[in-house]
Amino acid sequence: MRIATWNVNSVRTRAERIVAFLDRQQVDVLAMQETKAADAKFPYDVFHDAGYEVAHVGYNQWNGVAIASRVGLSDVRDHFERQPSFAKKGEPVREARAVGANCGGVEVWSLYVPNGREIGDPHYDYKLQFLYSLQDTVRPGELQVLTGDFNIAPRDENVWDIDWFDGKTHVTEPERAAFQMLCETGLRQLEHEELYSFWDYKSARFQRNEGMLIDFQLATAPLAALATRVWVDVDERRGTGASDHAPVIAEYDTRGLDYDQVR
């Protein structure tokens, strides 16, 4: 089973490109983030025509997460337990940042962790609360993967120049500690040779290879043991109309798995 995670940065803008990627890489399950679409405006037909069922959570033109699967889609959840809400002003609301489903016997979560914006900003605290609350979702003994854009570079080598990030988010100790605590609940970060998964549109970052590794597949030990290959499809960051993120793909040897068992 091939599972991919990709911050697509607008699913309506890139729907045909996404489906072409699914075919080219023979992806069974795709977790998408930053779809930037309300549920009613998601391009379901494009995915259905390609043989994929879709679970999408989107309330407006911001955020948005989805799972597209051709190996089954059941037990869909539009948030995780104790998922925090946010509002800089007014009544806090739960944003479209998490969707989970059983896909062919594997519990898959597509997650768009808050950016944090700036140290000291209310969004920074919201980011930490999101990660702390997410720990309760982990089921260490089951086949489960938490995928998505975590907006954290866990190690110095996950950014092109750590000095450039001095005083900025994504690399602070509280963020890294929250990411590490999440992993310590029973998740393994699947490693790959490629250095980065994100290159900003600004300042020709991609052309200079000034990137960041902030997109991950965090698998429980039983699922991580089935991983045979993990890579970043850097080619999907090339060309006109590309997202600023590249997909992270993992291949799991699930032959013999009882697909009738959700957990």
Residue that has been written with the tokens 């697509």 in this structure: 8
Annotated binding site for Mg(2+): 7, 34, 149, 151, 244-245
Residue that has been written with the tokens 């490629």 in this structure: 194
Tokens coding 170: 């994504």
Establish whether 149 is a catalytic residue. yes
For residue 56, give the 3-state DSSP assignment.
Answer: strand
Establish whether 245 is a catalytic residue. yes
Establish whether 259 is a catalytic residue. no
As a whole number of angstroms, the distance between CA 159 and CA 263 comes to 36
Q: 79 near 63, Cβ under 8 Å? A: no
Q: 42 near 56, Cβ under 8 Å? A: yes
Q: Which of 112, 124, 126, 252 is catalytic?
A: 112
Q: Which of 28, 124, 170, 245 is catalytic?
A: 245
Helices of type H across the chain: 11-25, 44-49, 122-134, 173-183, 221-224
Q: Which of 78, 149, 215, 233 is catalytic?
A: 149
As a whole number of angstroms, the distance between CA 260 and CA 174 comes to 40
CA 28 distance to own-chain centroid: 15
Number of CB atoms found within 10 A of residue 188's CB? 16
Tokens coding 119: 């140290």
Annotated binding site: 7, 34, 149, 151, 244-245
Nearest one of 83, 107, 103 to 95, comparing CA atoms: 83
As a whole number of angstroms, the distance between CA 45 and CA 218 comes to 30
Active site residues: 112, 149, 245
